[in-house]
């Protein structure tokens, strides 16, 4: 699988989160990140470094990752 499409709600959430993150990055003198870079970091921290759990209701839950 090479790509996937976000729905409108996911696009809006990613846009809002990227604005908030980039404001904080700029305040600390860092360069802003693209939405793509932010999405890759989210995927890395959840799918590669994180842990997922399947609930009894068949829902996927992302467990808190306290390791850096």
6-19 residue pLDDT tens: 999 999 999 999 99
Domain ranges across the chain? 8-63
| DSSP secondary structure letter of residue 57 | T
Q: What is the pLDDT of residue 11?
A: 95
Inter-residue contact 15 to 33 (CB < 8 Å): no
pLDDT digits (tens, 9 = 90+) for 44-60: 988 888 899 999 999 99
Higher pLDDT, 11 or 64: 11
Higher pLDDT, 66 or 6: 6
């Amino acid at each position: 699988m090479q790509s996937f499409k976000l729905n409108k709600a996911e696009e809006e959430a990613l846009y809002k989160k990227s604005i908030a993150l980039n404001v904080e990055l700029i305040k600390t003198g860092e360069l802003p990140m693209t939405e793509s870079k932010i999405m890759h970091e989210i995927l890395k921290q959840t799918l590669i470094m994180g842990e997922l759990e399947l609930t009894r209701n068949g829902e996927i839950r992302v467990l808190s990752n306290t390791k850096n």
